[in-house]
Copies of this chain bind each other. A is one copy, B any other.
């Protein structure tokens, strides 16, 4: 039998211990599939003493990730520590510089330093694989890098954060508010004690920057992404979406436009009968649009020890087989600077919900402001309860919820029209704006 592929494993959380288990349990199958065994030979983690529910005694313990990365006995470093800084960064750099392949699940590190790390891997002729970094168990990296090679991608979008999708799904299914669902997500371990990285869209943005780079051959540029989270979404929005034939999802979207690559993360109305709308709970999904073919959607677990570990192991199996593609699908020298399409130039339909003051002329004022910016309405609805109330008792003096769906227009037009409406003092509070994504 061929020489085993010798793995150094840095990080022994849920993912790390699941990698150990998968490699042990799947040993024979992996030999058959890759032609050689894949063996963990050394491990490290922050604490050696911590209980991990797995027998790790048989693996050689190394003091720290950097030492592990430089250990001459390993062929490949698996980095499942996380975080854009050290020790993950230093360890990955050291491994690549020492001519060792790296498998990482670290989206933050890749979003921030992916370019530099890919160049390092290229210079030393080693693999840098990161299937686990985006949408855990879904093979979206491989699909973009190898599976759809002949196509020109036009758009890639998806549900990349299980926490947000869990919260939105619970809100809709159980008619609960955002805060309550967030607490429930925290209780179940789906959300961190500080949930802002997830719920404000930053996690999605890091993953989107990786997908956009693979799809469009551009340099990673997370700062180019417009980011908006889900904390402002209310049950009223979900109800209105339902009535209008939509569901609300936090999407990351990267799309080729005439103005450049538009990258954005925001709550989005998606048609209720689309594949992406069916994705509930912590599940992730990615849709890939390419010229001349129908969209491809991949749905599956976005996180979880086994799902993420399975992605790590398939990356290892590729290395064991001797497969070595460019980390971002092409040589670093071929990766172009992103021509950013500014968010103001985004075009699409919009959902607008506002509380109109119950005064004569309010509707006319709002309609005029929209018309001034060339915005046409596909539909306008006054919420049922409010309408009934008015029919029964005439003007109540209470603000009336008004929900509008626009035809395709620009972000700029919507922002300017709504600023004007606010200055007119015909609405109460801030308008809610949710972009609509067509499938």
Question: B-contacting residues of A (Cβ < 8 Å)?
Answer: 22-23, 25-26, 29-30, 32-35, 131, 137-139, 142-143, 145-152, 217, 273-275, 278-280, 283, 290-301, 304, 306-307, 309-310, 312-314, 316-318, 321, 323, 325-326, 329-331, 334
A307 and B293 in contact, given A26-B150, A313-B150, A317-B150 (Cβ under 8 angstroms): yes
Q: Given A290-B310, A298-B296 in contact, is the A150-B30 Cβ separation under 8 Å?
A: yes
The reply to whether A293 and B137 form a contact with Cβ atoms under 8 Å apart is yes
Chain B residue nearest to A144 (CB atoms) is B139
Could you tell me if A295 and B290 are in contact, using CB atoms closer than 8 angstroms? no
Residues of B within 8 A of A151 (CB): 22, 26, 310
Nearest B residue to A306 via CB reads B292
Please name 6 pairs of A and B residues whose Cβ atoms are closer than 8 Å in the assembled complex, sorted by A. A30-B149, A150-B312, A283-B294, A293-B307, A294-B300, A294-B301
Q: Are B32 and A314 in contact (CB under 8 A)?
A: no
Asked if residues A314 and B150 are in contact (CB atoms below 8 Å), the reply is yes
CA distance in complex: A414, B331 (Å): 59
Closest to A335 in B: B32
Give the docked Cα–Cα distance between A66 and B275 (Å). Answer: 43
- Nearest CB of B to A228, in Å: 27
| Cα–Cα distance between A313 and B326 once the two chains are bound (Å) | 18
User: Among A25, A142, A299, A323, which residue has the most Cβ atoms of chain B within 10 A?
Assistant: A299
A297-B296 in contact (CB<8A): no
User: Which residues of chain B come closer than 8 Å to A279, judged between CB atoms?
Assistant: 275
Inter-chain CA distance A300–B291, complex, in Å, is 14
Bound-state Cα–Cα, A186 to B131, Å: 41
- Are A317's CB and B142's CB within 8 A? no
CB contacts (< 8 Å) of A304 on chain B: these are 293-294
Q: Which residues of B contact A280 (CB under 8 A)?
A: 273
Return the chain B residue nearest A334 by Cβ. Answer: B32
Q: Which 9 A-B pairs have the closest CB atoms?
A: A150-B313, A139-B147, A296-B300, A294-B301, A292-B306, A149-B317, A32-B330, A149-B314, A22-B150
The residues of B that contact A293 with a CB separation of less than 8 Å are 137, 300-301, 304, 306-307, 310
Q: How far is the CA of A25 from the CA of B295 in the complex (A)?
A: 20
Are B290 and A146 touching (Cβ within 8 A)?
A: no
Residues of chain B lying within 8 A (CB to CB) of residue A145: 33
User: How far is B139's CA from A202's CA once the two chains are assembled, in angstroms?
Assistant: 29
| CB < 8 Å neighbour of A294 from B33, B137, B148 | B137
Closest beta carbon of chain B to A286's beta carbon, Å: 10
Chain B residues in 8 Å Cβ range of A318: 146
Complex Cα gap A137–B147 (Å): 9
Across the interface, name the chain B residue whose C-beta is closest to A308: B293
Q: How far is the CA of A222 from the CA of B246 in the complex (A)?
A: 42
* B297, A300: Cβ atoms closer than 8 Å: yes
Residue of B nearest to A325 (CB): B321
Q: Flag if A29 contacts B301 (CB, 8 Å).
A: no
Chain B residues with Cβ under 8 A from A149's Cβ?
A: 26, 30, 33-34, 310, 313-314, 316-317
Give min CB distance, A336 to chain B, whole Å.
10
Residue of B nearest to A314 (CB): B149
The reply to whether B294 and A296 form a contact with Cβ atoms under 8 Å apart is no
Q: How far is the CB of A137 from chain B (nearest CB, A)?
A: 5
Assuming the contacts A326-B33, A330-B33, asked whether A300 and B310 have C-beta atoms less than 8 A apart, the reply is no
A148 and B152 contacting across the interface, CB-CB below 8 Å: no
Q: Which of chain B's residues have a CB closer than 8 A to the CB of A26?
A: 149-152
User: Please, which residues of chain B bring their CB within 8 A of the CB of A292?
Assistant: 306
**Least Cβ distance of A33 to chain B in Å?**
5
Give Cα A143 to B148, complex, Å: 12
A32 and B150 alpha carbons, distance in the complex (Å): 12
